[in-house]
Structure 1
């Protein structure tokens, strides 16, 4: 890639691998910086900003910053000192220079948070990975991002060593803590440019090989200064908690970047299943929770009743939020969920719906977060009228920049970021989620939203969770197939199949009902928690094994028309 494709600024990076492999400027999205709060100086180190907080927060040093169930209670001053010592280990002992890529491997722990900040403060580029990844998957990340250094929780070292094949400057956490003991508690942050990359985040790879998305220091502060103040309305008195991994941008923003930017505290859980999350909310008196629809529903169904009364705001993202889950959470906690739509490419949430708005607009996912704009486009890139389903396009202070990947041409067109979501908009600008573009079901000429079918099925008492996909069909091209996990006490029988089919026909247009139903013990999920629908498409079973699958016989004349009543 020629030099003209690189950013036009004075970079602090000595190692320019990432800049050299950014998309040509003509292939990058338009950036909107209309809000004054999103305009930053040309020299900016986001880690320094997140730790310091500025002169308007004089008592910040003594307030709690990072907590964990294992006894860590770091104040901002203590966190800053830990970060400084780690940064010195990186630069003095491991030879890090600005622009080097540092792979991180751990569960959500205070040490992982401190290392993330230290790498960025030292001018490095963070590449965080899930602890569940195996050597083959890690090898892909290492090769794609040309990883130069790695810091790894000691118990997770074996897979990383197998993947790195000796090319990494690797230190485990035991070695890191030993090296930190001799370091000073002060470190001068590298004078990075606002546009210098500081993060390479890999997508979850639910539809193919993961893509490496590049984000800058300015991008990090942009998401902190858009969603939290305008939608979340958090203050420094809040205590954040949640389930997503810091290796994913949803968790990174909600559980580290946002609380630090505000001067609040965060609780990091190395185990964050629904029951552990509910227990920790009670233990720590958490006030703001970031999680996904599945976890919120599971906490409602949990027979162990934890005290969640400290919560005041809860954010749901990662998958479409069924209206039935919203209602369950409201009954369980008397709280309204904030629904959010985001992507790794955009770094965080760019469309949101505060809970109190949702009851008057069932099915809406919200409007653009201040700083962003959206459009619904047809296949030729033209805006569609209100009410018509098309491709969701977005512009804002962040945008997609893939690392050396021709798929940039698919995501960014004419300055717009095309998220891969199919939506429609009403005349007040509220957006309604239809499906992922590649999940849309076209059956006998009808466009059917799998999200709508899933939401309807989940209102039946026998259904704990479900995923709806297209199954090939000679007559209709495709039919709706539902993979259903049953609630306790319900058996997978042909009679229940018929009951669920009849139920869906009475609750929505009959042509949308699932002609195929498969019962399974669990749904296949990526490390993010998202359902891997590609593993279900056209299949009669998933990895958990189907117990029952049947189809309603088609009456004469049904092909090409609505399903029978």
Structure 2
């Protein structure tokens, strides 16, 4: 069998999980039993929440969900900013047997309509500051029964029999909650991963998945302990951020810093100086922005023992500049929503700048050609990964599940090669998906938006490196007859996309062409556009 059971990894940590297992016990109740209840768990907007306080609030959320008629395995959508309420809602839902589904807070109404109807979420927990985006959708959500609002605004949101205030709702719920009798292979939570057609895929993660990520990566690579303080620029609704800012620190009784705002470069330095984290998790675009600040060496980062980067490949130059400036290493790695966290990584004392590192103990990596045969060392192949944190399936997407998940192995969609020393080097995507600012972007989605503009005849979007070597969307546009490229039209097209898609998806540059390169059958030759994107200067017709 081509994709059979991989051989045992002798370096993998031993992980034993009982058949009956509810992961909320490992991340919440265990700390109370072991005497860590009074330790700070979350720093949030100048306030401090202990492990005991988060555990009690999670119990109240779980009981509140039971009072709304939520049953085992029903989905609970979380449209929440990074906050103690997110932590309590996530773990509280799992503890009572429901399945939390964190949603990206940066999306558009159409995205929420799709995901809420696809997941058939019965209850939505949402911050009031996000309510205006969501509220017009409510009549179009036939499965949604109740909304619980975390009020982070001075003005209140109108309440009724199906719209509840979080503080009042939890205050009337019991602080005691029994663990739902789930098994280690029951659904625990979902995360949505972007799709190549623009439609997101619900990755169904099981009760044991977070434990494996913790033991394989957080403990083995980062060597986390209860003295650590963790700051993640990646938000909790991302797979990367969920580990960094929630279940990694909660696995050892450590501390997390939750920041609800945008992770701007100067703000990250302010948080580092204020809270003195020991581990900082970022993405390459953020590290580039932080290093570009004037007199950047003035910031005190002496509390940090490690920095981590994921989401897209970290250019060697950025890694080296950061190390030289702050004397703190950045461990670059690759993870995915399907595998939940990082599965190939550089290590402390073993960093190869520009590479993704080596497989994390517990994961196996395989590079294969288009026929599924393993490639020779040094040759580029499609990356497959085996490991116990891989999602069980894509919800309601049977064909996509079969095409991606092959027994013990999953197709990551990335192309890599492995050098003679065992380091893995990123070589691009197997499909046309782009990783922009740490988030997946579908070129098809951008193209479908641009083509709706009255001036656009044809368009194709590819990834192009910016001055920092980071990939950004670049649109090639053929205008309708009689129209001429102008600077004003370029900015109009960018704004047109920004208004209709999440802001990070807009094309940073636009090049106007008389026609798109195509095959004899009419397919766009994207490889030629990628070559053009690397060589065409951004002047005159290209912006």
Which residue in the other structure is 1:189 paired with?
Answer: 179
Cα gap change, 1:107 to 1:54, in 2 (>3 Å): closer
How far apart are 1:107 and its partner, in Å? 1.4
How far apart are 1:317 and its partner, in Å? 0.2
Cα gap change, 1:89 to 1:75, in 2 (>3 Å): same
How far apart are 1:365 and its partner, in Å? 1.1
Which residue in the other structure is 1:213 paired with?
Answer: 203
**1:215-267 superposed Cα distances (whole Å, 9 cap, x missing partner):** 01111211111101111111110000011111111100111010000110000
Q: What is the rounded CA distance, in whole Å, between the counterparts of 2:23 and 2:472 in structure 1?
A: 39
- 1:411-560 to structure 2, matched below 5 A, reads 411-413=404-406, 415-439=408-432, 454=465, 458=468, 467=472, 538=529, 548=539
Which residue in the other structure is 2:517 paired with?
Answer: none
Q: What is the rounded CA distance, in whole Å, between the counterparts of 1:115 and 1:201 in structure 2?
A: 15
Cα gap change, 1:253 to 1:419, in 2 (>3 Å): same
Matched, 1:143 2:117: yes
Cα gap change, 1:414 to 1:234, in 2 (>3 Å): closer
How far apart are 1:39 and its partner, in Å? 2.8
Q: What is the rounded CA distance, in whole Å, between the counterparts of 2:16 and 2:85 in structure 1?
A: 31
**1:389-438 superposed Cα distances (whole Å, 9 cap, x missing partner):** 01011101122411121211321236421101000112332211111123
Which residue in the other structure is 1:45 paired with?
Answer: 22
Cα gap change, 1:367 to 1:469, in 2 (>3 Å): farther
Q: 1:115 aligns with which of 89, 104, 108?
A: 89
Q: What is the rounded CA distance, in whole Å, between the counterparts of 1:312 and 1:335 in structure 2?
A: 6
Which residue in the other structure is 1:65 paired with?
Answer: 41
Which residue in the other structure is 1:84 paired with?
Answer: 59
8 Å CA contact retained: 2:364, 2:386: yes
8 Å CA contact retained: 1:53, 1:263: no
8 Å CA contact retained: 1:318, 1:341: yes
Is the partner of 1:267 in helix, strand or coil? strand
Which structure 2 segments of 5+ residues have no match? 152-164, 435-461, 478-486, 488-493, 512-525
Q: What is the rounded CA distance, in whole Å, between the counterparts of 1:141 and 1:54 in structure 2?
A: 34
Over aligned residues, Cα RMSD in angstroms? 3.6
Which residue in the other structure is 1:345 paired with?
Answer: 338
Is the partner of 2:319 in helix, strand or coil? helix
Cα gap change, 1:29 to 1:203, in 2 (>3 Å): farther
How far apart are 1:133 and its partner, in Å? 2.3
How far apart are 1:204 and its partner, in Å? 3.3
Which residue in the other structure is 1:103 paired with?
Answer: 77
Q: What is the rounded CA distance, in whole Å, between the counterparts of 2:311 and 2:98 in structure 1?
A: 28
How far apart are 1:199 and its partner, in Å? 1.0
How far apart are 1:540 and its partner, in Å? 13
Q: 2:316 aligns with which of 315, 318, 323?
A: 323
8 Å CA contact retained: 1:29, 1:395: no
Cα gap change, 1:414 to 1:184, in 2 (>3 Å): closer
Which structure 1 segments of 5+ residues have no match? 1-25, 442-449, 460-464, 473-491, 493-519, 552-565
Greater CA drift, 406-415 or 257-266: 406-415
8 Å CA contact retained: 1:214, 1:402: yes
8 Å CA contact retained: 2:472, 2:507: no
Q: 2:248 aligns with which of 243, 258, 265?
A: 258
8 Å CA contact retained: 1:244, 1:528: no
8 Å CA contact retained: 1:238, 1:265: yes
Q: What is the rounded CA distance, in whole Å, between the counterparts of 2:425 and 2:538 in structure 1?
A: 34
Q: What is the rounded CA distance, in whole Å, between the counterparts of 1:434 and 1:343 in structure 2?
A: 16
**1:455-477 superposed Cα distances (whole Å, 9 cap, x missing partner):** 9x538xxxxx55487979xxxxx
Cα gap change, 1:526 to 1:278, in 2 (>3 Å): farther
Q: 1:152 aligns with which of 126, 131, 147?
A: 126
8 Å CA contact retained: 1:338, 1:352: yes
The size of the alignment, in residue pairs, is 456
Q: What is the rounded CA distance, in whole Å, between the counterparts of 2:176 and 2:264 in structure 1?
A: 37
Q: What is the rounded CA distance, in whole Å, between the counterparts of 1:533 and 1:213 in structure 2?
A: 30
Is the partner of 1:107 in helix, strand or coil? coil
Is the partner of 1:62 in helix, strand or coil? coil
How far apart are 1:316 and its partner, in Å? 0.1
* TM-score, with length taken from structure 2: 0.76
Is the partner of 1:232 in helix, strand or coil? coil
Q: What is the rounded CA distance, in whole Å, between the counterparts of 1:218 and 1:32 in structure 2?
A: 21
Matched, 1:286 2:260: no
How far apart are 1:33 and its partner, in Å? 8.1
Cα gap change, 1:362 to 1:526, in 2 (>3 Å): farther
Matched, 1:203 2:193: yes
8 Å CA contact retained: 2:196, 2:433: no
